[in-house]
């Protein structure tokens, strides 16, 4: 495969930048990990990957939270942005860049330039507006979008506001947006989310507020040529995908190389912004459109949204520090569905940890290496791989690649665990501890096949459990001429 830095070979992947009015939660850890597995898989496939994440730092929620804490909004942004970056690093997230929207040098020029481009198209106008504003969504909402008068995502009553804002002519692009989505020129994964956004668009798209008065919300990016207004938070936040590449600066090398995005990874509450508002902004600014939008669900706990009130919040930092990054990565990548809501409780996490990792992967690796050590003093010479094992491994590789085309990490891990299950079945069937008494050579051949299969598991696991994958490969000690010099290392996953 071509690994040159060509436009054709590039793969630009982004997470939704995290809002920093509060520290990171399990939903953030999930999105970071899912995006990271995709980015790592693409790198191993030979793509020139650029993986962007970062933090969204403006808006009324930030301003309000900072006021409640009696600190400056920038201080709150700095404090929580640091926590998000630390969580990314703790989880071994292989991001190439971390953009912050309060960065006046890196982000502001791109955000203000796209505003100017949209304004040049005469797609912005001022008008007085009154309506319901949800600070959780940082957006105006219609009464028919509320349940019992509350936002369906944030379970809070929106505030009624009256103010003069700039508005963006979203309605002008309604037909074009629906055509692009229907024809998969902007591909929305899964199909159910595509239908959802098309149904919403078919009801009629209204122009959307694009700014807030600075006397109401002073915390934001100034509107070009109008110091009385700041850019609406989602308007400036969406621009991070291009500002991080240098759009708005003198250095457009990365922008020309990587834009448009190959995939935006977002939660279902961000669909409208990414599938309608963002493409419309890009159309207005005459910029290329993202190719795919991959939409995942929420992390819930025992069927309920995680909240301080219920007391069911699980801190990803605590879980990672206690059980290891790859233990949490495995649960998030395997147990949380590819596109629907997924449940997380410490009890279920520990059950999966013991079953799949401690008694599964870790035990099988230790079991096979122990036999190599006991019967062959760690040295297993190169042998011809049994045809059956070639087929098992090839099927699993194909399963992983096929699943990852749709970003389906749970199915990819099922494919890898298929090899693991086959190793366990073969050990139980052949009973090498008995075979050593009569046919030590056959035991050596079996061990070579099993060690080789574990090596493939190690390679296949690199996008998903990068730290453990390298430990497995290291413990196997493979040399193309000599074979395996397998040596037991530290227990990969100590039982709980």
Exactly one of 41, 151, 334, 446 is catalytic; which is it? 151
Exactly one of 116, 172, 214, 305 is catalytic; which is it? 305
Q: Which of 35, 37, 40 is nearest to 52 (CA)?
A: 35
DSSP state of 132: E
- Return d(Cα 79, Cα 81) in angstroms, integer: 6
Exactly one of 8, 128, 183, 308 is catalytic; which is it? 308
Structure tokens at 125: 């106008």
Q: Going by C-beta distance under 8 Å and a sequence separation of 6 or more, which residues neighbour residue 308? A: none
| C-beta of residue 298 within 8 angstroms of C-beta of residue 268 | yes
Q: Going by C-beta distance under 8 Å and a sequence separation of 6 or more, which residues neighbour residue 158? A: 132, 133, 134, 135, 141, 146, 151
Q: Is 308 marked active-site?
A: yes
- Return d(Cα 286, Cα 353) in angstroms, integer: 49
Exactly one of 107, 134, 194, 235 is catalytic; which is it? 134
Structure tokens at 127: 């008008």
Q: Is 64 marked active-site?
A: no
Q: Is 137 marked active-site?
A: yes
Exactly one of 83, 154, 291, 418 is catalytic; which is it? 154
Sign, Cα dihedral of 486, 490, 493, 494: positive
- Containing 87, the helix (H) or strand (E) segment is helix 73-90
Structure tokens at 371: 């036999």
Exactly one of 107, 137, 235, 334 is catalytic; which is it? 137
Structure tokens at 145: 């979008």
Q: Which of 413, 390, 426, 393 is nearest to 468 (CA)?
A: 413
- Return d(Cα 9, Cα 6) in angstroms, integer: 5
Q: Is 28 marked active-site?
A: yes
Q: Which of 81, 78, 100, 119 is nearest to 229 (CA)?
A: 119
Alpha helices in 259-338 (DSSP H): 271-272, 278-284, 316-323, 325-334
Q: Is 214 marked active-site?
A: no
Exactly one of 25, 83, 214, 268 is catalytic; which is it? 25
| C-beta of residue 197 within 8 angstroms of C-beta of residue 272 | yes
Q: How far apart are the first and last CA of the chain?
A: 43
- Mind giving me the DSSP string for 219-242? SSPEETTEEEEEE-HHHHHHTHHH
Q: Is 446 marked active-site?
A: no
- Containing 411, the helix (H) or strand (E) segment is helix 409-430
Structure tokens at 493: 């996953």
Active site residues: 25, 28, 134, 137, 151, 154, 305, 308
């Amino acid at each position: 495969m071509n690994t040159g830095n060509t436009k054709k070979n590039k793969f630009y992947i982004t997470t939704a930048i995290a809002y920093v009015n509060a520290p990171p939660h399990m939903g953030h850890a999930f999105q970071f990990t899912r995006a990271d597995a995709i980015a790592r898989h693409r790198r191993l496939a030979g793509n020139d990957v650029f993986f962007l994440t970062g933090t969204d730092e403006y808006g009324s929620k930030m301003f309000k939270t900072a006021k409640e804490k009696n600190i400056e909004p920038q201080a709150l942004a700095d404090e929580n942005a640091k926590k998000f970056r630390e969580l990314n690093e703790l989880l071994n997230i292989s991001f190439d860049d971390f953009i912050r929207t309060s960065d006046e040098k890196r982000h502001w020029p791109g955000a203000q330039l796209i505003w100017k481009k949209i304004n040049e198209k005469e797609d912005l106008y001022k008008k007085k507006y009154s309506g319901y504003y949800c600070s959780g969504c940082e957006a105006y909402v219609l009464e028919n979008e509320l349940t019992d008068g509350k936002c369906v995502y944030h379970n809070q009553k929106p505030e009624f506001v009256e103010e003069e804002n700039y508005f963006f002519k979203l309605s002008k692009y309604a037909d074009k947006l629906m055509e692009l989505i229907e024809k998969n020129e902007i591909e929305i994964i899964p199909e159910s989310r595509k239908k959802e956004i098309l149904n919403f668009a078919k009801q009629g798209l209204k122009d959307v507020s694009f700014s807030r008065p600075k006397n109401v919300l002073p915390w934001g990016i100034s509107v070009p040529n109008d110091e009385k207004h700041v850019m609406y938070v989602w308007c400036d936040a969406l621009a991070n995908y291009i500002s991080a590449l240098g759009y708005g600066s003198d250095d457009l090398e990365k922008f020309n190389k990587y834009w448009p995005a190959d995939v935006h990874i977002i939660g279902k509450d961000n669909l409208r912004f990414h599938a309608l508002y963002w493409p419309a902004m890009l159309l207005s600014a005459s910029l290329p459109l993202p190719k795919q939008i991959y939409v995942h669900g929420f992390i819930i706990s025992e069927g309920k949204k995680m909240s301080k009130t219920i007391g069911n919040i699980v801190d990803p930092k605590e879980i990672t520090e206690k059980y290891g990054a790859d233990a949490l990565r495995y649960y998030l990548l395997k147990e949380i569905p590819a596109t629907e809501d997924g449940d997380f409780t410490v009890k279920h996490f520990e059950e999966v940890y013991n079953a799949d990792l401690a008694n599964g992967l870790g035990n099988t690796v230790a079991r096979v290496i122990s036999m190599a050590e006991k019967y062959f003093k760690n040295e297993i010479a190169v042998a011809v791989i049994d045809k059956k094992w070639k087929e098992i491994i090839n099927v699993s590789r194909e399963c992983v690649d096929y699943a990852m085309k749709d970003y389906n990490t749970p199915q990819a891990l099922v494919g890898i665990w298929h090899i693991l299950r086959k190793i366990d079945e073969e050990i139980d069937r052949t009973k090498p501890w008995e075979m050593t008494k009569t046919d030590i050579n056959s035991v050596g051949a079996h061990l070579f096949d099993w060690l080789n299969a574990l090596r493939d598991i190690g390679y296949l696991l690199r996008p998903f459990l990068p730290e453990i994958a390298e430990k497995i490969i290291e413990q196997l000690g493979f040399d193309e001429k000599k074979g395996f010099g397998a040596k037991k290392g530290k227990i990969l996953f100590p039982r709980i």
